[in-house]
Structure formats: C-alpha cells, structure tokens
Structure 1
C-alpha cells in the first residue's frame, strides 16, 4: 500500500489531509447539509453504478437529513458526468458516484473531450463497493472451466465470440487483458451497451464475456448464464465457490471495478469529514450492506488515501489494457 500511496502522490491526486481550514469553512460545515445534494452518476439508469448509487443515496439521505438526488449524466465514457462535478462549486452539494469507467478508463480514451484532470480536480472520500468482474459463458457452450475455454480457443482460433458492452468499456478491456494473458485468439464482439451484451450471451449469439458481477448475478442464479471464475485477487465472498481466474489457470490476471464517493477538489475538509463519516455508517448499515450484496457488489469503505491509491493503481493497469487493445487515444 505504501508504494501505491506514493504513486497517487506523484500523479497529483487530491487526498483529504490534515491541512487546517479557515474558520469560515468550519462554520459552513456546521449547518451542512441544509438543502438537497446532487449525486451525479456518469452511467445510465439501471447500470451497475446507478443501482449501487441509489442504494447508498437512500441511506445517506436518512443519515444526513437531506435528500440525495441521483442525476444520471452519461456519455463519452463517463467523462461528461465527471466534468460536471469537477467544475461544480466546491460546497458539498454536487458530489460524484465515482467509478472505474469515468475515472480511469474514459479520460485515457476520450482525451480531446475530457475537460478535467482526473487526479487534481477531485477529492476522493471513500469507496462504497467493489465489483469483481466475472467470467461467464452461455450455458449451452461446452465450457465448464477456464481451462476448457482456453483449450477450445487455442484449438479453434477466432471461433469464440467474446462479447463486450462496447469498445473501451470495462468489459472490453477486461476481455482483451484476459485473451492477451491467456494467449488466445477470439472474435471480440462489441454491443451497444451492457444490456444488449447480456442479451447476446444469454441468447447464444455470443459465447462468453467478462464484466461486472452486478450485471450477471441474477442471470447466473436463474441458470441463464454459467459463471466460470472471478477477476479478483481473492475469491469473492458473494461467490465463494467460484475460483479466481488466477486459480483457474491465468497467473497474474486481476480485473475489478469499483464505486466510491468523491467531491470537487476544493471542498472544505470539515464537509469532507462529515461525508466520510456518514458514508462509513451507510456502508456498514445492515440493510444497506445487504442490498449492495444482493446486486452483486461487495460493500467496502476506507480512507481517502486508500481510495486515491486504488485510483492510481487502476489508472496504470487499465492504461495497459487500452494499449494492448490498440485503442486510438485521442
């Protein structure tokens, strides 16, 4: 973790620290919040980050005594929603449901339209969930394990249809990284969004994909898809019987997503402290915790520094996947 924190510092990521705030900032925090809070989610309604954000927003509204209004602002790999928060007044009333796509993937692909610095323009507050990627196949395929899939793909180059939610999406980069590390040749099939991708795999139009667990839990439980392995460093507590992809035969493979709370970088520290304390309570609230688990998320809170270190680490790993994919970075 020490090295990760150093990396975050080098990249210039704003971390909530012990810097003393002016007296006015402390006074402003005393009455905070005294009006509804805009909670920007940079993906569409019904997406994983939207679902998790609404669960968290419900409890945060209760804890802070003001409504948290989820505002879906999509486009350009999440950079449109992120820009709204980056350029907002740093008063604690416009906050960001920060996620992997908007913070570490989109800005590396959509450089020409990204109008913010993904490190300097935000104050990370805390994670609220980890979403491991899960490798799933159509249940009518013969693949019962990761080794089955790799063996077939090596014997039949280009014959496996590998679905993703669109070029540059988390599912695309996770798949590219897997095929690169497993040394297999597949046909990458981009769909227009996660919903169509899921339908494509369930229908048998595509054979396999790897993507955020919240998009797949209900389908695996219903038998519409078969899960083979998880993308985390350790087994998921939500899917304890599934091996990691590392265990299953691809050494070193790790691919996760996450969601967390962030504010504009100049937000007063007393307000950030209030938000952090409330979010930790929300994540550890039994009904909220269980609701996140039901949608396939692993509830988790931590310090701002830990969150910043994760962002810096994933910036590098997803940057490598973008390079491997040969995506044109504008």
Structure 2
C-alpha cells in the first residue's frame, strides 16, 4: 500500500471516529415537550435561531409533546452529553417530580442546567358579565356564593391549575374547577360566558382583553405588570401570592464544563437581541438571563416549592 492510500485511509478513519463529535458541533436538537405553535415552541424556535447564529452550528427544534413534558425530558436525560441534544423546558420540570409518582429520570441529577430564559406571569380573567371588577370583589363574591362560581383548569397539574388551587386555599374561597385540554378552549368558553374564570398566559388573553371580550381581575406576579398598570396583583388581596411560569434551557448531565458555559453564555446573550426582545414582548414574557449556578439553585428551589403546593392541593396528573 503506498503512502497516499495509507494517509487517505487514516484520514477517513479519523473522520469516522470523529463523526459523532462533528455532528454535535454542526447540528444540535433542541427538544420541546409541546406541540408546534404553543408558547414553549415559539420561544424555542426564536432561541434556536439566535443560538445558531452565535455558536456557528444549526439548532433544530424537535417537538416531543406528551406527559406534561416528561417525554422530551427523558429523551434529553438519556442522550449523550456532547451538546448535540438540549431541552427547553417549562415550569412542569419542577412540578412533575411531585405530581407523578415515579419518573424515569431525576429532574436534578440527570440534567445540566444551562440558563434561565424567561418568566411568564399569568392573568386571572373573567367573563365580561361577572359582577366583580378586581380580585378583592371576586373574593367577596365567591364567599357570598360558595361553590357557585367556576374556574377553567387548563391542564390538570399545570402551573396555572396549581396557582388557582393556591388562590382558593389562601383566599378561603370555594370555586369549582372545570378541566380543559388547554388555555385556548377555556378562554373561548369564558368569552361565551359558559365559564366564569381562568388563569391564562398574558399573550393568550391580551387580544381578548383589548377587544373587551373578557376582563382582567388580577395578575399572578408579585407586582403589577407594565402593560396592565390598572390590573392589581393578586398579592394585593392575597399576601404572598406569586406564581409565574418559566422557561429554562437544560442539557444532559455530564456535559463538558467549557461547552456548557459556551451555550449558557450564548443563550443569555440572545435575550438581548432585538428579535428576542420583540418576541418576548409579544408573548408577555420577562427575560430571566440567569447563568448556570443561579439557574441550578432556582430549579432546586422550585422543585421544593411546587412539591409543597402539590401536596397541599392534592393535585393529580391528567
């Protein structure tokens, strides 16, 4: 065998051996535990575009809906820690360890927290004919009519469901929960006057509020929102009430520290881009921009927090 053929064979062998790493460095799948078109998917697609331009490789959104995000999370937990597979998760990542009896992964030990992306305050909306204009009047109305008012549950075990359960507990009111498959159908029934209340993401409710189809009684964040300065925070009537959903970026456990740090930095830088800011504004999102250590502490604290809420409310998965 001559020298040229030997070098070619060795070169080909080197490429073959390196191919997993090459693939990891040229294409990254960003798994999302939601269907296309939803809030998580929208955030993931914008983030994928930003990361692609910043890291010099293609990020592709891979939708794996089902089991409240557990299917996507399990796939990432079991993947190689080479940066080729990441997860854009939702508040459910912290809720599911308590909500489900047993998960096929550990929400902390099997993941590398990379960055906190955004928080999403909710807004409590009511049918236009409900005789209450804010949260204080709603509480008084509910106390005068125990069990007569109803609230849509847009996904059993979701953060909005648990927030509504805590509202009932802390305010001492009895409101009947009505399960729905999602926020969209629930909002439609509130508009139609068939349901009294629902806690919705700001972006979903905003066009209906502006059109006068529903009315806002309170926001779930600790303070009032800049876009809705006249809508009180629920905490103004129920001290300590503070429930915002969030999005976060994870990789599998065992990622190389340098690679994890590079992706984390790129994700946080992306939050400052004009396109990302515009997307967040349209979706009612608030940028988090937390790094690895801070996001890791946040996730652990959220698992404890939601665990207490699941236990107190007796919530069960769908």
Give your verdict on TM over 0.5.
Answer: yes
Give the C-alpha shift of residue 148 in structure 1. Answer: 1.1
Determine helix, strand or coil for the equivalent of 1:234.
Answer: coil
Residues 1:277 and 2:265 are matched in the alignment: yes
Counterpart CA distance in 2 for 1:164 and 1:51 is 22
Give the 3 Å change call, closer, same or farther, for CA 223–52 of structure 1 in structure 2. Answer: farther
How many aligned positions are there? 300
| Stretch moving more, 296-305 or 231-240 | 231-240
Match for residue 309 of structure 2 among 297, 321, 326: 321
Contact 2:151 2:195 in 1 (8 A): yes
Q: CA deviation at 1:31?
A: 7.5
Q: Secondary structure at the match of 2:47?
A: helix
Question: Could you list the per-position Cα deviations for residues 8-49 of structure 1 after superposition, in whole angstroms to 9, with x for gaps in the alignment?
Answer: xxxxxxxxxxxxxxxxxxx99x97963221111112222221
User: 2:47–2:276: 8 Å Cα contact kept in structure 1?
Assistant: yes
- Aligned residue among 126, 130, 142 for 1:137: 126
Unpaired stretches in structure 2, ≥5 consecutive residues:
1-17
Where do 1:82-231 residues align within 5 Å?
82-101=73-92, 103-112=93-102, 114-231=103-220
Rg larger in 1 or in 2?
A: 2
CA-to-aligned-CA distance 1:128-181 (integer Å, 9 cap, x gap): 111012111122222210011111100001111111112212221110010110
Cα distance per residue 1:175-227 (max 9 Å; x no partner): 00101100000110111222222222222211111233233223223332222
Superposition pairs of residues 248-327 of structure 1, within 5 angstroms: 249-327=237-315
CA distance in 2 between counterparts of 1:321 and 1:203 reads 31
Aligned to 1:44: 35
> TM-score with structure 1 length normalisation?
0.85
Counterparts of 1:306 and 1:217 in 2: how far apart (Å)? 31
Structure 1 CA distance, aligned partners of 2:190 and 2:306?
24
1:76 paired residue among 67, 78, 83? 67
Structure 2 distance, partners of 1:52, 1:241, is 27
What is the distance in 2 between the residues matched to 1:33 and 1:222? 47
